[in-house]
Structure 1
């Protein structure tokens, strides 16, 4: 447990693999963590040295949530396998208990638009995971950071011989990606539009999925996308 920094009161609803990993990570950072799940057996997902609080019961029961410490909590994550439950718990946390920082998990991508209507930050592990796998299978590019639900990501793009000696401004797809940094020989540097790339460079860009496909294809082949 890391004692540095300010300790906060965190509540995790759902103790599956994601919830357990999140709860343990928050605990390791020095926060006071309470985990709620309807099944006591779910708490077996927590590592043996977890010293937070575990509460078994109906996660939609206001009385149970009160006892779990939702009132006065600094943050709440609803990460059960039910999109409806996650949205309702988030709504209760925000409107009834006044929790400032609320994040919810989207389990079924078909429910994502409805869940987003609640106005909470939403993490869609299915969408994000599919996009990451697709990028890895492309071979030349892969995502290293995802914002939102993958609408914009930070990608590593391998520069091929076809773009050796060309400026970043010459690469296609302007507007769909922005350069962040360029790594050459293990050393990274900030990359502006006038930066010149070389075969073997690794370019980090912020991009939409479509933008990075065009950029990756062009960088590998040295052709306009």
Structure 2
């Protein structure tokens, strides 16, 4: 895939490197050459320094042959303009823009752009993680026959094996996240307070989990 990333701050550099590692052809554009120092030393994509709103720069970046573009600068107006031009002038099929300041989100929405709002999403995610209650639904399939639940491991389960909490059959372990890193754990994995579990379960399966939590004084 041929991808153009406009903006090489921390977010842009991380995105460009991930795309490069996944074998995409990546071109990174930034108005400051020093921004490219954010990229890992083994990044081998193209790096272009110059005015990101210049039609000449956009042409040099290869927008006319790109399959995707990400506008991830810290300026919402620049992201909106570049995203709009990429869609309407260059007809790039997959355009995603960063919303830096939540107050400018309506502007991106007015352009009909796909948005990633790191501030809004981050605040929402932290609110969810701080909310009381051990179990919460994060995804529902079909008519709710199968749902994915998120659970924050409390002190009562610290050191106990995962099998003690999750019954087999109608409840499956999707992932365990510890210190920000997700894995697919074995049933004998010891839990740690603060772990985040994602479970896929039927109503019967999740009720069995709730019963085990209730036995430890949790809900």
TM-score (norm 2): 0.68
Q: Deviations over 1:162-205 (max 9, x none)?
A: xxxxxxxxxxxxxxxxxx96549939974233433235869xxx
The question of whether the paired residues in 1 share the 8 Å contact of 2:134 and 2:153 is answered with: no
Q: Distance in 2 between matches of 1:107 and 1:30?
A: 28
Secondary structure at the aligned position of 2:96 is classed as strand
Aligned residue in 2 for 1:46:
39
Secondary structure at the aligned position of 1:127 is classed as helix
Q: Distance in 1 between matches of 2:59 and 2:26?
A: 14
1:20 to 10, 13, 27: 13
Structure 1, gaps ≥5 residues long: 1-7, 147-153, 162-179, 203-218
Q: Distance in 2 between matches of 1:37 and 1:25?
A: 18
The question of whether the paired residues in 2 share the 8 Å contact of 1:135 and 1:141 is answered with: no
Aligned residue in 1 for 2:107:
114
Q: Structure 1 residues 10, 104: CA separation in 2 closer, same or farther (over 3 Å shift)?
A: same
Aligned residue in 2 for 1:33:
26
The question of whether the paired residues in 2 share the 8 Å contact of 1:109 and 1:124 is answered with: yes
Residue 61 of structure 1: how far off its partner (Å): 0.6
Structure 2, gaps ≥5 residues long: 140-147, 157-169, 175-185, 189-197
* CA RMSD across the alignment: 3.4
The question of whether the paired residues in 2 share the 8 Å contact of 1:11 and 1:73 is answered with: yes
Residue 87 of structure 1: how far off its partner (Å): 0.5
TM-score (norm 1): 0.67
1:57 to 36, 50, 55: 50
Q: Distance in 2 between matches of 1:104 and 1:92?
A: 12
Q: Deviations over 1:118-139 (max 9, x none)?
A: 1111000001111122223336
Q: Structure 1 residues 41, 189: CA separation in 2 closer, same or farther (over 3 Å shift)?
A: closer
Q: Deviations over 1:70-99 (max 9, x none)?
A: 111010000000111001000110111111
Query: Following superposition of structure 1 onto structure 2, how do residues 76-225 of structure 1 map, counting pairs within 5 Å?
Result: 76-138=69-131, 140=133, 156-158=150-152, 183=173, 186=187, 190-195=200-205, 196-199=207-210, 220-221=218-219
Say how many residue pairs are matched.
Answer: 173
Q: Deviations over 1:126-167 (max 9, x none)?
A: 011111222233364599x89xxxxxxx75135999xxxxxx
Secondary structure at the aligned position of 2:5 is classed as strand
Q: Distance in 1 between matches of 2:124 and 2:199?
A: 27
The question of whether the paired residues in 1 share the 8 Å contact of 2:129 and 2:152 is answered with: no
